[in-house]
Amino acid sequence: MNKNTLSHAIDRRNFLKNSLGAAAALGLAGQLRDQAARAATSAGSPAGNIVDVNVNLERWPFRKLYRDEVPHLLEKLRSLGIIEAWAGSFDGLLHKDIASVNARLAESCRRHGQGMLVPFGSVNPTWPEWEEDVRRCHEVFKMPGIRLHPSYHGYDLKEPRFKRLLQMAAERGLVVQLVAVMEDERTQHPLVNAPAINTAPLAELVPAIPKLKLVILNSGRGIRGLSTRWLTETSRVYHDISWLEGSECIGDLFKDNPAAANQTLFGSHAPLFQVESAVLKVRESELTPAQIQGISSVNARKLLPKV
């Protein structure tokens, strides 16, 4: 992709100044859809099939967010060419009754999603009977995966119960989404201590669980240092782009580690982050049509075929 050939160019500074501008957002979305369509034509796949693997429903507990109502959020996702969104629940961070959280999530996806929202239930292995929550997610709510928040639930990745949780998910064929961090520590509520998790133990855990399908959400710059080993040793560890920062951030990651192109997913972290931000990251990076299509949907489909 040659930036000089793209019309209606828009830089990050102008985007940040006008992040709520519909015209700019739709212009970027059109470019991304056109690029994905060209890639899909050569790959024999349908165009415009962007899968957002990192969406949150319900209410962020610390402030009111723009587009935190499901219909409003879905409207924005659709306008940007996203046809499927893997959704967790903000309620899963602090609520004690995880079973009810997951029941509401499943119902909200069913009622509002029209097949677009794919629920990923919360599991907190520090609570009693957490194994039953895994079972319900799989057998009762028919969820294809679970989403974990260790920084909010008070455990680290060295604990035996975390390994057991990964093993249970792998045995059931569930995709595990591990959230590295939810919010920049500088903006967290003063009574909340939820720092980014230490993902180093995964270097030993992942090879020990061959059937594990793992997605690290909101990994940010940390994936640069850790991905080289993981992504070359196993094809089962993926990460999204939501916390990658800087112009050409995706292209730079691929230059550092070409194998990452096969395990990088489109994730917006909406509605905490603007969906347009993820679109712009793809737009700004020098990517091939195959890499664009991989990020947009192909890599996600390797983890989870269309449901």
Q: Supply the CATH number for residue 126's domain.
A: 3.20.20.140
The whole-angstrom separation of Cα 163 and Cα 155 is 12
Total number of domains in the chain:
1
Tens of each residue's pLDDT in the chain, 307 residues: 444 433 333 455 454 445 444 444 445 545 554 454 444 333 333 345 899 999 999 999 999 999 889 999 999 999 999 999 999 999 999 999 999 999 999 999 999 988 899 999 999 999 999 999 999 999 999 999 999 999 999 999 999 999 999 999 999 999 999 999 999 888 889 888 888 888 889 988 999 999 999 999 998 755 545 555 565 567 789 999 999 887 788 988 888 778 788 999 999 999 999 999 999 999 888 899 999 999 999 999 999 987 6
The amino acid at residue 10 is: I
Contacts of 59 (CB under 8 A, 6+ apart): 65, 68, 90, 91
pLDDT attached to residue 294: 95
The whole-angstrom separation of Cα 62 and Cα 59 is 9
Instruction: Tell me how crowded residue 238 is: count the other CB atoms within 10 A of its CB.
Output: 27
Q: Read off the pTM.
A: 0.83
Extract the tokens encoding 136. Answer: 């319900």
Name the 3-class secondary structure at 153: helix
pLDDT attached to residue 192: 87
| Domain with 8 in it | 3-303
The whole-angstrom separation of Cα 170 and Cα 174 is 6
pLDDT attached to residue 28: 53
Extract the tokens encoding 261. Answer: 């192109």
The whole-angstrom separation of Cα 261 and Cα 254 is 6
The whole-angstrom separation of Cα 236 and Cα 257 is 16
